[in-house]
Chains A and B, each alone.
Chain A
C-alpha cells in the first residue's frame, strides 16, 4: 500500500464509546460531581440549619418542632437585638471605610509611582495573613497592659497620661473591631478596584483632558461611572463577608464586654455550640438570610449593570 491509496481505517465504535457520545448522558455524567458536592456540602447543611431553627434541639437531645417560637423569643432578647444592631453598624461602617480607603489606594496605585509593583505586593499582605493570626496580633495591639499604641502615646510621645482600654468598654471595643476588619478588608477592595481602573482606556482620560476636564471632573464623569459595575460586585462580596464575619470578633473579644460586641454570627455560635441551644443558634443564623438577600439585591439592582453596557459590542 503506498501513500496515494492509503485510507484511514474507520473501525465501528463499541457501545461504551457510543454511550459517551450520547449527549444527554454526557451532560448527566459531567454535572454529577458538581451537583453531588453542592447537595452534600451546601444544600444539606443549609436545609438542616433552617429545619433546626424551627425546633428546640439541644446538643445531645432530639428536639421537637416548635414553629416560630425561637424567632418570637428572639424578638424580646436584648442581646440578640444588640447583635443585630452591631452587625448592621459593623457592616455599614467597615464597608464605608474599606471602600473609601481602598478606592483611594487603588487610585494612587493606578498612577505612575516609584516601586509600584512592590507597593502592590505589600498591600496584599493583610489579605494573605490567616485571619486568626492577624486577630491575635490585634488582640495584643489592643491589650490593656501591653498595647503598643498605648505605649507609643503614653511612654514615648507623652500625649496621653493613661493606657487606653480598647476592649473594655462597648464603644471602644466596637471601633477596635471595625479597625481590624478594615485593615483586613482594604487589600481585597484596593486590588479589585485597581483591576477595574485598569480596564478604563487611558485615551478616555486624554479625551477628557482635551475637553477641559479638571482631575476631579474626570474622576466624577469618567472614572466613577465606568468603575460602578465592578464596584457593585466588589461591594456585594464585601458586604456579605463583613456581615457574616466571625473569626475576627470571636478571636479578639468573644462578643464581650458584656455581650456588647456580638455579631449575629458570633451570637449564633455562642448560643448553639457552647450554649448547647442548637435550635436557637440556628434561628439566629437563619435570621441573617433576609438581610443578606436584601444586600445582594440592593447592590445588584442599584449599582449593577447599566443601560450603556447593553447592546452589541462590535469593537
Chain B
C-alpha cells in the first residue's frame, strides 16, 4: 500500500495541452475517484499514473518514490481496463496467473494466489473457462482478479463498470467498494458517472477540461460545491440555477424573490446565480407560485418540472423539484414551493465561484 502524489502535472499531445497542472494527494489506503465529463483528462491522468502515458511536466510519486521515469511494470500498480483487456486465448486461471508466470513465481505460489483471488471474487467454478464463455460481470471480476493476485501498492480502475448494464453496475459498485474495504489497497478510479463517484469514493476529484475543479469528500462536494461546474455535475437530478441579483437582503429574478443563504454576502453588486437542489425544494402554501409543466412520479418521490413565478416565459426560471409527497397536479396548474435558505448556494456569474 502506498500514497500517490500528483504534483502540478501537465500533459500535452503535440501542441495541445490536455492537463493544465493537476495536484492531487491520495493518502494510503484511500479510494479516490476521478470524475468529469468525457474529454476532461481523467483517463489520461490515470494512464500517466500507470505509466502508459509519459508525463510532460510535473511529477507523480507512488509511495514517496517519483515514478516519472520508472517503467510500468516496476511501479507496482495493477490496472483494470474499461474493456477488461482479458487475454482471449487464456483461461481465467491463466489470465490471473500471467503476471506471476512472467515474474517466474513457483507453481505452488501461483496456485495459492490465484486460488485466493478466485475465492474472494467467487470465480472458483470458472477457472478453466475462456473469457468468451463468461458474462460481462464475470469478465469484470476476472479483470479485478488479475489485479488482486499481483498484490500491488495501488489499484487503478479505468471506467470499469461502463460496459455493464444498469442493474449489474449497481451490484458491482457495491462489490468493488466491499473489496476495497477488505483489501484496503490505495485505489484510483476513473468514471464519468457522478453516482458511482458519490457512492464509492472516500475522496472525489472533479475534473473539467484538464483542470481540477474540486477535491474533497463526496458529501463535502454535495454540500459545498466550490463552483458552478461542480454544483451542476454532482447530484441527480442536477441543481437548479436561477440568474438574478441581490436586492434588499433577498435574491430577485424578475418577479421571483427567494430568501438568501445565511452565509451570503449582503452587499454583492452585479448578477449572481442562485442554486438550489431539486430535493431541497419543499411544498409550502406560502411559497412562490410555479406552473407545473411535467410531473414524473418514480414511486419513492415525484419530480416536477415547473416554471417559476408568473407567466413571464423566461427559461432561467424553469426548475425541477423532487418531492417526497405524491403530487397530482396537472400540467398548467399552480404549485407553491419554498426553498430552504440554509441549503441554497450562491455563485458569481462571471467566475462561477461560490460566494460566501
Contacts of B302 in A (CB 8 A): none
A225 at the interface (CB under 8 A from B): yes
- Contacting pair A311 B133 (CB below 8 A): yes
Contacts of A311 in B (CB 8 A): 130, 132-133
Contacts of B79 in A (CB 8 A): 206-207, 210
Contacts of B85 in A (CB 8 A): 201, 203-204, 206-207
Name the contact of B83 in the complex, choosing from A201, A208, A209, A307 (C-beta under 8 A): A201
- Contacting pair A314 B135 (CB below 8 A): yes
In the bound complex, CA of A226 to CA of B135 (Å):
21
Q: Mark A220-243, 1 if CB is under 8 A from B, else 0.
A: 011001100000000000000000
Name the contact of A306 in the complex, choosing from B83, B89, B131 (C-beta under 8 A): B89
In the bound complex, CA of A5 to CA of B73 (Å):
74
B21 at the interface (CB under 8 A from A): no
B52 at the interface (CB under 8 A from A): yes
Other contacts beyond A201-B83, A226-B88, A226-B89: 4, CB < 8 A = A203-B82, A206-B85, A210-B51, A210-B79
A308 at the interface (CB under 8 A from B): yes
Contacts of A212 in B (CB 8 A): 73, 99, 102-103
Count, chain A residues at interface, CB 8 A: 25
Contacts of A222 in B (CB 8 A): 87
Contacts of B132 in A (CB 8 A): 308-313
Interface size class of B (residues with CB under 8 A): 20 to 34
CB distance from A114 to the nearest CB of B (A): 15
Identify the closest chain A residue to B91 (Cβ). A308
In the bound complex, CA of A210 to CA of B52 (Å):
9
In the bound complex, CA of A204 to CA of B90 (Å):
12
In the bound complex, CA of A225 to CA of B50 (Å):
26
A211 at the interface (CB under 8 A from B): yes
For chains A and B in complex, what number of residue pairs have CB atoms within 8 angstroms?
Answer: 70
- Contacting pair A206 B98 (CB below 8 A): no
Identify the closest chain B residue to A218 (Cβ). B102
- Contacting pair A308 B102 (CB below 8 A): no
A247 at the interface (CB under 8 A from B): no
Given contacts A217-B102, A308-B132, A312-B133, contact A210 B78 (CB under 8 A): yes
A164 at the interface (CB under 8 A from B): no
- Contacting pair A209 B52 (CB below 8 A): yes
Contacts of B83 in A (CB 8 A): 201, 203
Name the contact of B88 in the complex, choosing from A208, A210, A221, A308 (C-beta under 8 A): A308
Residue from B51, B87, B103 whose CB has the most chain A CB atoms within 10 Å = B87
Q: Mark A241-272, 1 if CB is under 8 A from B, else 0.
A: 00000000000000000000000000000000
26 contacts between A and B (CB under 8 A): A201-B85, A203-B81, A203-B85, A204-B85, A206-B50, A206-B52, A206-B79, A206-B81, A207-B81, A208-B87, A208-B98, A209-B52, A209-B73, A210-B52, A210-B77, A211-B98, A213-B102, A221-B98, A226-B89, A307-B130, A308-B88, A308-B130, A308-B131, A310-B132, A311-B130, A314-B135
Contacts of A213 in B (CB 8 A): 73, 102
Contacts of B82 in A (CB 8 A): 203
- Contacting pair A210 B50 (CB below 8 A): yes
In the bound complex, CA of A88 to CA of B79 (Å):
49
Residue from A210, A307, A312, A314 whose CB has the most chain B CB atoms within 10 Å = A210
Give residues 43-88 of B contacting A (CB, 8 Å).
Answer: 50-52, 72-73, 77-79, 81-83, 85, 87-88
Q: A residues engaging B (CB < 8 A)?
A: 201, 203-204, 206-213, 217, 221-222, 225-226, 306-314
Q: Mark B173-207, 1 if CB is under 8 A from A, else 0.
A: 00000000000000000000000000000000000
Contacts of A221 in B (CB 8 A): 87, 98
Contacts of A217 in B (CB 8 A): 102
Identify the closest chain B residue to A213 (Cβ). B102
Determine the main DSSP class of A at the interface with B: helix
Q: Mark B28-52, 1 if CB is under 8 A from A, else 0.
A: 0000000000000000000000111
Name the contact of A211 in the complex, choosing from B73, B89, B133 (C-beta under 8 A): B73
- Contacting pair A308 B81 (CB below 8 A): no
Identify the closest chain B residue to A202 (Cβ). B85
Identify the closest chain B residue to A200 (Cβ). B88
In the bound complex, CA of A209 to CA of B146 (Å):
13
Contacts of A208 in B (CB 8 A): 87, 98
- Contacting pair B88 A211 (CB below 8 A): no
Contacts of A307 in B (CB 8 A): 130
B352 at the interface (CB under 8 A from A): no
Contacts of B52 in A (CB 8 A): 206, 209-210
- Contacting pair B73 A210 (CB below 8 A): yes
B136 at the interface (CB under 8 A from A): yes
Contacts of A308 in B (CB 8 A): 88-90, 130-132
In the bound complex, CA of A314 to CA of B146 (Å):
21
Identify the closest chain A residue to B73 (Cβ). A212
CB distance from A42 to the nearest CB of B (A): 37
Contacts of B90 in A (CB 8 A): 308
Identify the closest chain B residue to A222 (Cβ). B87
In the bound complex, CA of A314 to CA of B83 (Å):
13
Identify the closest chain B residue to A205 (Cβ). B85
Contacts of B98 in A (CB 8 A): 208, 211, 221
In the bound complex, CA of A209 to CA of B73 (Å):
6
Identify the closest chain A residue to B90 (Cβ). A308
In the bound complex, CA of A311 to CA of B50 (Å):
33
Given contacts A203-B83, A221-B98, A225-B89, contact A210 B72 (CB under 8 A): yes
In the bound complex, CA of A306 to CA of B90 (Å):
11
In the bound complex, CA of A312 to CA of B150 (Å):
29
Contacts of A226 in B (CB 8 A): 88-89
Contacts of A310 in B (CB 8 A): 132
CB distance from A156 to the nearest CB of B (A): 44
CB distance from A174 to the nearest CB of B (A): 38
Given contacts A211-B99, A213-B102, contact A204 B133 (CB under 8 A): no
In the bound complex, CA of A209 to CA of B78 (Å):
10
Identify the closest chain B residue to A225 (Cβ). B89
Contacts of A312 in B (CB 8 A): 132-133
The 5 closest A-B pairs by CB, nearest first: A211-B99, A212-B73, A207-B85, A203-B85, A311-B133
CB distance from A120 to the nearest CB of B (A): 23
